[in-house]
């Protein structure tokens, strides 16, 4: 009972003060002035006890507070026999406390949405049956069944295509389709039929558990909410006391001093600023950005220099298959199919991308037999009666690799790629090249940060200088610091801090020191949180870094509105204090006027609840569906694009084989060109509508035309070749194919950045 009263103390005081004030008014209207006076005295005493308890609590925590002014005003109202003024002040204080508590509770509800849905049990697949177990008992590599409507309990890899509701993590209401072999995060809801997955984390290290910890940290940081008034209390309290004392000394009338104290009750500070800041916390949470308290939100609003790590922030942080290089005479599709079949049971970080790439190419996978993970090397097993090993090149090729394997290693070094070797029946069969691609939304995010007021953007990474500078050039940063150890990032933050408040963005354990040292640390936790999330002030729970730019816009707008509310409210209060000191404003009228000023300041602050300008583009649902369908076609043509370079590589001036060229030409005309024409007809107008400018899509239209021109040139060249082409014709054919490949790669990057990045993120 006592605990419940404490939880609702502000509401109880508000109701009681309102009833007492109203009862006194009724009694005064009825002519019973004595009873009315006692009613208002009771209301004043209630407010005095309420304000005094807040002052004692602040003193106990050694925190400056303006509540002392309310205590003096209420005590002074009793002393000079102005109980009506005291009763009005009590109602004003109680109203403010209730509004602040409601705003704080609203922010907590936004932050607690994830924690409230945490799953407790899971269904483990055992033989031909299911066993329900606690999520804490789930290990890595187990098969789980998730029924329709249930929450996925731990991170895993899908055994078949699935339809998922990811709104709790991403905020996007539309269900998304995830392919077999794709990663699925805990916390999403199965929106389709029963799905099976192979676990890749435990419950304790899963995405959902990490996000729950982040919510708890954010709530701890924002409760109790440190009121913005505390920062101005040191200056405001002495000013008020000096003005009140001066009015009393000059006039000899203590009523003037009480009047000054009454109108000095600083509810614009007590209420307006917290309402605006808490509204910013709530709106940021809805964008998928958890800000750990009002202080972090204000520091985010003041940031002027951004320092980014590369891997997982400006890049995907998750490799994708870039190419399959077969051994002499090998079949790349066979090697990829067997490797992906074996990797279905592997929890290694490179296994998922290999499985996804095989499924994207339409390869039929089979479950392996006797699969065994060899720690630090790879995985081996039997697939369809064939012995397969997939893993490190040194494990497969040995200390003296074949010439093709050495060439693959050189190519991987030049491209900054990772290589995985495939062995079939004891013979090296192919090398799989994987690359961590740049996030399509990274360049847009950098431009959005500049538009939001960021003065300088720096890339600080431990990667090689050539790779780092390439990424920095593409996304558009101001400076690149490569081959950085954690201590080098700290040094860079101190140096950049001389230019203004710093913001550090990272997602790895090695980023935790820099995140803690920056004025604002921002961590990415869309695929699970690490030490970086614990050290950060701001955590992105969606797999879009451009959400950071929106969070900065929200933070700056909330801070700006808070300052506007404080400036208007306190400015009017200072004017009223001057009038009260001059004897122009009696205490009762001053209390009523202060209530009007408070309401005006609160109304100004409540503007922060309304949606403000964001850099994110709003796209209608019909256009989003069109964009998703074109994206599927776009991704499905990636192997055909790589095939252009592979065919060019295979051309030789000595006895050239034109059969691959003829097959490629037909595939380009039947598969690629129809897609590019559909892009011109559907994608280009869609993006122009979203961005509000046809100039923004002029480059896309130009490359569509160039692709069609190059394919037409290829047909004319091939049709005009002799059965045994001359060497110079082969050279020209190879040159044309390499040129077409370059145009296609550039065009795909343009579409990823300028068109498909406008859609909600697709977390693999």
Told to judge if 309 belongs to the known catalytic residues of this protein, a careful annotator would answer yes
- DSSP state, 620? -
Alpha carbon of residue 245 to chain centroid: 52
**3-state SS, residue 402:** coil
Supply the pLDDT for residue 282: 78
Supply the pLDDT for residue 118: 64
Whether residue 294 contacts residue 225, with contact meaning beta carbons closer than 8 Å, is answered with yes
CATH topology for 285-316+438-553 is Rossmann fold (3.40.50)
Residue 193 phi, psi (nearest 5): -80, 180
Instruction: Classify 621-758 by CATH class.
Output: mainly alpha
Catalytic residue among 309, 511, 546, 679: 309
What is the arithmetic mean of pLDDT over 708-722? 87
pLDDT band for position 457 (cuts 50, 70, 90): very high
- DSSP state, 271? I
DSSP output for 300-344:
HHH--EEEE-IIIIIB-SS-EEEEEEEPTT--HHHHHHHHHHHHT
The four Cα atoms 21, 27, 32, 34 give a dihedral, to 10 degrees, of: -20
Whether residue 379 contacts residue 348, with contact meaning beta carbons closer than 8 Å, is answered with yes
Above 70 in pLDDT, residue 5? no
Return all residues near 89 (Cβ < 8 A) that are at least 6 apart.
Answer: 44, 47, 70, 73, 74, 77, 262, 265, 591, 594
Provide, rounded to the nearest whole percent, the portion of the chain with pLDDT above 70. Answer: 84
Supply the pLDDT for residue 225: 36
Task: Output the six-digit token pair for 318.
Answer: 């998750």
Whether residue 761 contacts residue 170, with contact meaning beta carbons closer than 8 Å, is answered with yes
Read off the pLDDT of residues 247-270 as tens digits, 9 standing for 90 and up. Answer: 888 888 787 887 787 777 666 566
Domain boundaries, the chain: 285-316+438-553, 320-435, 621-758
Residue with tokens 């996030």: 439
Strand order in the sheet with 176-178: 176-178, 162-165, 189-190
Task: Output the six-digit token pair for 688.
Answer: 């122009």
Task: Give the Cα-Cα-Cα angle 85, 15, 92 (nearest 5 degrees).
Answer: 35
Which of 24-28, 619-623, 757-761 comes out lowest in average pLDDT? 757-761
Of residues 43 and 217, which shows the higher confidence score?
Answer: 43
What is the arithmetic mean of pLDDT over 557-574? 84
In Å, the largest CA–CA distance within the chain is 118
Task: Give the Cα-Cα-Cα angle 649, 414, 656 (nearest 5 degrees).
Answer: 10
Above 70 in pLDDT, residue 105? no
Supply the pLDDT for residue 113: 52
CATH topology for 320-435 is Calcium-transporting ATPase, cytoplasmic domain N (3.40.1110)
């Amino acid at each position: 009972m006592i605990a419940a009263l404490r939880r609702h103390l502000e509401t109880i005081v508000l109701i009681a003060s309102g009833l007492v004030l109203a009862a006194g008014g009724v009694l005064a209207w009825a002519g019973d002035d004595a009873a009315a006076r006692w009613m208002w005295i009771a209301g004043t005493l209630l407010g005095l006890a309420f304000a005094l308890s807040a002052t004692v609590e602040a003193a106990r925590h050694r925190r400056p507070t303006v509540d002392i002014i309310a205590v003096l005003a209420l005590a002074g109202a009793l002393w000079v026999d102005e109980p009506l003024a005291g009763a009005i002040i009590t109602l004003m204080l109680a109203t403010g406390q209730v509004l602040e508590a409601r705003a704080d509770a609203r922010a907590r509800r936004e932050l607690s949405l994830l924690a409230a849905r945490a799953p407790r049990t899971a269904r483990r697949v055992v033989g031909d049956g299911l066993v329900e177990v606690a999520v804490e008992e789930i290990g890595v590599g187990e098969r789980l069944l998730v029924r329709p409507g249930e929450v996925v309990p731990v991170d895993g890899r899908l055994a078949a295509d699935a339809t998922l509701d990811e709104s709790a993590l991403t905020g996007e209401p539309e269900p998304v389709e995830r392919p077999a072999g794709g990663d699925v995060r805990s916390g999403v809801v199965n929106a389709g039929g029963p799905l099976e997955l192979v676990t890749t984390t435990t419950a304790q290290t899963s995405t959902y558990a990490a996000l729950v910890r982040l919510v708890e940290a954010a709530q701890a940081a924002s409760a109790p909410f440190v009121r913005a008034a505390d920062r101005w209390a040191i200056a405001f309290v002495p000013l008020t006391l000096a003005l009140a004392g001066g009015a009393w000394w000059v006039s000899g009338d203590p009523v003037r001093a009480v009047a000054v104290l009454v109108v000095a009750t600083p509810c614009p500070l007590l209420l307006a600023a917290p309402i605006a800041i808490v509204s910013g916390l709530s709106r940021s949470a809805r964008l998928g950005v958890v800000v750990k308290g009002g202080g972090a939100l204000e520091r985010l609003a003041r940031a002027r220099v951004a320092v980014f790590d590369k891997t997982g922030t400006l890049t995907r942080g998750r490799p994708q298959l870039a190419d399959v290089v077969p051994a002499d005479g090998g079949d790349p599709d066979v090697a990829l199919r067997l490797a992906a079949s074996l990797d279905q049971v592997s929890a290694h970080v490179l296994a998922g991308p290999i499985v996804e790439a095989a499924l994207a190419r339409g390869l039929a996978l089979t479950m392996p037999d006797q699969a065994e993970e060899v720690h630090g090397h790879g995985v081996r097993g039997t697939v369809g009666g064939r012995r397969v090993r997939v893993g490190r090149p040194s494990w497969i090729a040995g200390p003296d690799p074949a010439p093709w394997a050495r060439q693959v290693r050189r190519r991987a070094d030049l491209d900054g790629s990772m290589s995985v070797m495939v062995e079939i029946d004891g013979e090296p069969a192919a090398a799989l090249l994987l690359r961590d691609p740049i996030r399509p939304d990274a360049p847009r995010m950098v431009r959005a940060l500049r538009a939001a007021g960021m003065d300088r953007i720096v890339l600080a990474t431990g990667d090689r200088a050539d790779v780092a500078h390439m990424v920095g050039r593409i996304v558009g940063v101001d400076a690149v610091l490569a081959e950085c150890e954690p201590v080098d990032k700290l040094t860079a933050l101190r140096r950049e801090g001389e230019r203004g408040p710093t913001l550090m963005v990272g997602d790895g354990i090695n980023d935790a020191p820099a995140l803690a040292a920056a004025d604002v640390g921002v961590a990415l936790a869309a695929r699970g949180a690490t030490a970086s999330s614990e050290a950060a002030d701001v955590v992105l729970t969606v797999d879009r870094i451009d959400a950071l730019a929106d969070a900065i816009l929200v933070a700056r707008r909330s801070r700006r509105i808070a300052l506007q509310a404080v400036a208007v409210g306190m400015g009017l209060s200072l004017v009223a204090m001057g009038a009260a000191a001059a004897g122009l404003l009696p205490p009762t009228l001053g209390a009523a006027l202060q209530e009007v000023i408070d309401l005006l300041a609160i109304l100004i602050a409540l503007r922060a609840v309304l949606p403000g300008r964001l850099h994110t583009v709003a796209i209608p649902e019909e256009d989003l569906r069109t964009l998703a369908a074109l994206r599927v076609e776009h991704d499905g043509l990636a192997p055909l694009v790589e095939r252009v370079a592979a065919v060019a590589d295979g051309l030789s001036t000595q006895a050239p084989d034109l059969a691959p060229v003829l097959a490629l030409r037909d595939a380009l005309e039947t598969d690629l060109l129809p897609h590019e024409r559909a892009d011109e007809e559907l994608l280009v107008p869609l993006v122009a509508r979203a961005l509000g400018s046809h100039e923004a899509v002029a480059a896309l239209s130009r490359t569509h035309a160039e692709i069609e021109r190059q394919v037409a040139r290829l047909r004319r060249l091939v049709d005009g070749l002799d059965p045994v082409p001359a060497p110079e014709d082969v050279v020209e054919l190879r040159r044309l194919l390499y040129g077409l490949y370059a145009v296609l790669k550039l065009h795909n990057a343009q579409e990823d950045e300028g068109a498909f990045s406008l859609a909600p993120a697709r977390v693999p």
